[in-house]
Amino acid sequence: MGFPAGVSPTRSLTMPLPKYIVRLTDAERIHLEELSRTGKRAASVILHAQILLKADVGEGGPGWNDAQITEAVNCGASTVYRVRQAFVEEGLPVALFRKKPTGRQYRKLDGVQEAHLIALACGEAPAGRGRWTLRLLADRLVELNVVDSISPECVRMTLKKTNSSRGCASSG
């Protein structure tokens, strides 16, 4: 069993080979060198470009191990691992740039639906109950066809936002 070029038998016993092997094309290497040289990008983009350049085992690449890269670019080993993984699994743009936010949370209830909820919460509790529970309020909104579905957590957040109580006579 032979060892890859540049890997000695002693190194393989102490430092395992990386799971994600980075092989850059000439165009990718030129692009990354330009990114890391100009300094006109976010620090994280420059850092990721430097990591990929140093991890490149292709022709013309230094093929450094993770320990050498972390020391050279002053980052954590997990950062090097994640950049390698992103490059191998998803490509260069994903490895360089941060993930876009998934989007804001849109309101589950509009103003009319909120008014129904508040009126229900401020009204009489169901028979045999001392006060409304969040689950009862959510179920009743669905029964009355105010909404198709709603979670008790959404009911709680809406009542909290409107400073309403589930049965206290002093507020709501």
Say if residue 15's pLDDT is above 70.
Answer: no
Q: Is the same domain home to 21 and 79?
A: yes
Q: Is the pTM of this model over 0.75?
A: no
Contact status, residue 107 vs residue 157, Cβ threshold 8 Å: no
Q: Is the same domain home to 85 and 119?
A: no
Q: Determine the Cα–Cα distance for residues 114 and 162; give it in Å rounded to an integer.
A: 9
- Domain that includes residue 144, residue range: 111-161
- Is 133 among the domain residues? yes
Q: Determine the Cα–Cα distance for residues 12 and 7; give it in Å rounded to an integer.
A: 7
Give the residue from 46, 72, 96 where a domain finishes.
96
Say if residue 10's pLDDT is above 50.
Answer: no
pLDDT tens figures, 90-111: 999 999 998 877 777 778 889 9
Domain count, the chain: 2
Max CA-CA distance within the chain?
81
C-beta atoms surrounding 132 within 10 Å:
21
- Is 104 among the domain residues? no
pLDDT tens figures, 36-84: 998 889 999 999 999 999 999 988 889 999 999 999 999 999 999 999 9
pLDDT tens figures, 135-160: 999 999 999 999 999 999 999 998 98
- Residue 53 tokens read as 């350049």
- Residue 171 tokens read as 């507020």
pLDDT score, position 106? 78
Q: Is the same domain home to 91 and 116?
A: no
Say if residue 1's pLDDT is above 90.
Answer: no
Say if residue 167's pLDDT is above 60.
Answer: no
Contact status, residue 146 vs residue 116, Cβ threshold 8 Å: yes
As a three-state string, the secondary structure of the chain is CCCCCCCCHHHHHHCCCCCCCECCCHHHHHHHHHHHHHCCCCHHHHHHHHHHHHHECCCCCCCCCHHHHHHHHCCCHHHHHHHHHHHHHHCHHHHHCCCCCCCCCCCCCCHHHHHHHHHHHHCCCCCCCCCCCHHHHHHHHHHCCCCCCCCHHHHHHHHHHCCCCCCCCCCC
- Is 6 among the domain residues? no
- Is 5 among the domain residues? no
